[in-house]
Amino acid sequence: MRHDDNLTTERPTFVTHLECSMTGERFEADRLHGLSNVGRPLLVRYDLDGVRGEMTKDALAGRPADLWRYRELLPVRDCADIVSLGETATPIVPLPRIGAAMGATELLVKDEGRLPTGSFKARGLVMAISMAKALGVKTIAMPTNGNAGAAAAAYASRIGMEAVIFCPADTPEINVREIAAQGARVYRVDGLIDDCGKLVGQGAKERGWFDLSTLKEPYRIEGKKTMGLELAEQLDWKLPDVIFYPTGGGTGLIGMWKAFDELEAIGFIGPERPRMVAVQAEGCAPIVRAWEEGARHATRWEGSHTIAMGIRVPQAVGDFLILDAVRASDGFGITVSDEEILAAVDRVGREEGLLLCPEGGATFAAYAKARADGRVRADERVMLFNCATGLKYPMADHSRTIAKDEPVDWASL
């Protein structure tokens, strides 16, 4: 990983304090924090006037193409605390054939599978682990549906930090083995991710682990918000009209919404915002149900099931932040079936050569459904998020065999 700063020195940072996302209560920066006093996520706040004077578009243009290029809007103060595996900028990939077939003016995919450990979880976990290092944490613990645990394990092992990971027993096998291969202690649990989270909470009390669960520490949001900073820069500071985001814990959606506010405050963009669309599976849709009911909070979804494990989150601690962003942007929540997800992955792979993960497939399936019912127009610029490489997931075998020593029926090939 290349940085244009001296990694042994402090760099200009502008963090002023942390703030409860529910009450606005202030918390001191540079201290180890979990949730706020009312049990809600903490948000990092910056001296945005100071950022405006330090970070310019011209300055960005000369920096390495990685997420650390946005250093003035990130919380790590000392470059020596950065724990990196090469967090490169991820490409925006058009879907021209499918887009043309659907009459879409501009249909785009942000392909996050190019990041370390093959998923966008690297963005959040590189920031969380870097800050845990800076604040003296020795052991982290977290629940995972797969990819977050893999990222946490990789970054923790990079600096010799202990990682203890709990995952549902039906987590994809590749993820479970990947977590262990990257140095963490991984345990399969006969429950869902929130059941795993309860074990993490208990273990934190019993063993002194630091709880790195989604939104239960402040810095995964700051890592995930780089998706919003990055796509804005890649699109020459013109945000998409609509963003379809696969929503489990929702850290990325919350982070992007925060990024857009910060970019406006420093004068990089105007007040226009994308419509934020929370995509969930029919078998686990607490956010969509709350959006449809007009509720501020989402109650637990019982009997959660879907092949898209990354969005199988029965209850999210940041539910109100997701719903606030969706409503403020005039967006919406939408569900798709597992059958629609599989069909989407198959179509995009066959017609565009882009292998989506199931959660990424869910965003394309949701877009197709929203186009069909009129919620998205053909002339809108649409951004879909593919959150992990499709290579981590089972694929059907469509191969055929040829016997090398027997006559070949070439006409049938």
Residues 169 and 298 in one domain: no
Give this prediction's pTM. 0.94
Residues 58 and 25 in one domain: yes
List the structure tokens of 55.
């970070």
d(CA 283, CA 285): 6
> Does any domain span residue 362?
yes
pLDDT band at 396 (very low <50, low <70, confident <90, very high): confident
Look at residue 10 in the predicted model and tell me its pLDDT: 53
pLDDT tens, position by position, 228-284: 999 999 999 999 999 999 999 999 999 999 999 999 999 999 999 999 999 999 999
Residue 330 has pLDDT above 90, yes or no: yes
pLDDT band at 13 (very low <50, low <70, confident <90, very high): confident
Residues 135 and 67 in one domain: no
Average pLDDT, whole number, for the chain? 95
Ranking 1-15, 153-167, 232-246, 378-392 by mean pLDDT, the lowest is: 1-15
Tell me the C-alpha to C-alpha distance, in Å, between residue 91 and each of 94, 235, 407.
10, 11, 45
Average pLDDT in the 388-408 region?
93
> Does any domain span residue 404?
no
Look at residue 7 in the predicted model and tell me its pLDDT: 42
Domain that holds residue 359: 92-114+225-392
Residues 106 and 151 in one domain: no
Residues 262 and 346 in one domain: yes
Residue 199 has pLDDT above 80, yes or no: yes
List the structure tokens of 155.
């970054």
% residues pLDDT > 90 (the chain): 95
* Three-state secondary-structure class, residue 337: coil
pLDDT tens, position by position, 80-129: 999 999 999 999 999 999 999 999 999 999 999 999 999 999 999 999 99
> What DSSP line would sit under 183-240, residue for residue?
T-EEEEESS-HHHHHHHHHHHHHHH--EE--TTSSSHHHHHHTHHHHHHHHHTTT---
CATH number of 108's domain: 3.40.50.1100
Average pLDDT in the 379-402 region?
94
Residues 239 and 349 in one domain: yes
> Does any domain span residue 161?
yes
Residues 248 and 106 in one domain: yes
